[in-house]
Structure 1
Amino acid sequence: MLFRSSGQCYSPPKLNTAILKNSSKSVFDIGDTLIYECLPGYMKKKIIAICLESSSWSSVNDDMCKRKTCPTPADLLNGRVQTTGSSQFGSTITYSCNEGYVFILFSILSAAIRCDLPPTIPNGRYRKTQEYFYYGMVVSYECNTGPRGEKLYDLVGQKTLYCTSEDNKVGIWNSPPPQCITLAKCQTPVIAHGRIVSFTRPPYLLNDAVELECDPGFTMKGSKIVRCQINSQWEPALPMCFREVNCSLPEFMIGAQNVSTKKTYNFGAIFTLKCDEGYMLEGSPQSQCQEDQRWDPPLAACKSGKYSMSILLGSILLIIFVGVTLAIISKHREG
């Protein structure tokens, strides 16, 4: 069972009469579109599926591709032509001779473009419905199952191939066959200070998705939805839950240039201090909010440049005063 989160669509619709042309993604945003193209044997047409706000795809189905109609077969001299229902793509006709006559030519088959037998795949097979495969014919693959029909492998790639041609002479299959790989099983995702909230239950197989959330008082960093991949790993990587921490700024920061109305910062946030003209920075210009709600290094301060100059001037005057005093005392002793 796949969990569907609001704001995203998963698992593009699979059609037996059309092939997906423009995407290999497995997760789609609202408004994303998919383009399908009808298979040979069907009227050439493009079908569009849209990811809706309900996190579901707009309606697409096999009936949107209309089968081509073959011309009515000509009468057979000294024989009969029998159709099975209709003359649409996929239908068959049977030729038979009147008593006393035999076939001497079957021009229909002699003119058809023929493909080699579909490629075989390890741990899987194609559904064989005929001995020969001609232009437009379709073949479907499936993976082997256990003795009780249990699933043993994941089918990866195009499930359906069709016979086509690039030169109207030699038949080829439209794509490589799919693969049957060892069943992907992901371990139950566990995050500290968090839990699973989706309804998907183990075992977690290929493309299964789960939604995670943090315990009250904790904030999530990363994606809340993860999906089981071919390598039996969750992607994106499992998120982390951090305790909600707020570091505060002093109510007044004299001489600070970039202090906004924001007075609290979350864990890991960095505050950079710049001073107004005429003020000097004392301390590190950057401090980071820690888990214990303190800033590291401690917040710097902006000190008035005039105040600093007065201290410097006072120090110089003191040195001069001491020097003059010592000189007077020295002369007095000499006299």
Structure 2
Amino acid sequence: MEPVHKLKPFYSVGEQVLYKCKRGYSIVLLLSMTTTCDKNLTWTPVRDIVCGRDLCNTLQNPAFGWVYYPTGSWAWGNKAHFACQEGYYLIGQEILHCVLNKDAEAVWTGTPPQCEKILCTPPPKIKNGTHTFTDIEVFNFREAVTYSCDQIPGPDQLSLVGQKILYCAGNGVWSSDPPECKVVKCPFPVLVNGEITSGLAKNFSYQAAITIECKEGFYRNGTDKFVCNGNSAWDPPISPCLKGPRPTHPRKPAVYEYPGYPEPKQGLFDQELDAWIIALIILIFIVSIAIICLCLYRILGPRKKGSKQSKSGTIAQEAKSSRILNKQSSQKFATLK
């Protein structure tokens, strides 16, 4: 917001200042836009959230596509993204920005794009070969053709080098370059101290695969499998068999072998010191068990002994009482006589 009138150096109590929205902003909340100088020589509060940025026109989804706003707003300073459904492509700008023009009006930077159907013209023709659906003049999105080579007289036939199947991947764009038909013959491997263990044949045409192993006492650097490529050459090139054992690659030292790292057998202490620590722990455990047993014996032992003594005393007292009673009975019986 900004003041409607030019501000004065000083204001008296009760005077007011009226605000308005700046250019490019409009009132969005019905709140007071006036502040008053009160008797405490302070201004009454006024909220800046009264004004919000002006909005551009709402954009419609294009046919077979949609528009979306990354920030969820189409006020100036934001942008709109356009996208098409699968099988359609965008004609026009993919992103439009909402900006302020010279008249402080919120406008889009361009015209909304349109979505058009993806179509392809027939794929290229190849020498000594053809493809399916040669009678179709327009291909839709992801429609495909298959290439093949013509049959020629003689022992050496044509090989299809490249992608066999092509499909319409974009407007006027096929998925890859067309293949070519040509005679592919890789030379018979000249082996010294080696032999073909699989894939042996009289002729090696396109994509023929072989495995070559060296004889005992010889080795080869690299792979033992080779494929005949479209240039009538082995891929990778066949390397010779070298005399001797296959070299081993140096082992990367373990971390503890670097300076400053302890050996894993040492742990935090020396090996002998570790054994003494373990023995000390076991000894402390045994002594602790012995002390606990001794304490229990001293606590429970007197109780059992006292119980036995009390029981013996009771029996003796009963026997003494019985003797006294018997004696008294004998005296009474003698007196009666």
The TM-score with structure 1 as length reference comes to: 0.34
Greater strand fraction, Structure 1 or Structure 2: 1
More helix by share: 2
Max radius of gyration: which structure?
Answer: 2
Q: Which has the higher contact order (CA 8 A, sep 6+)?
A: 1
State TM-score, norm by structure 2: 0.34
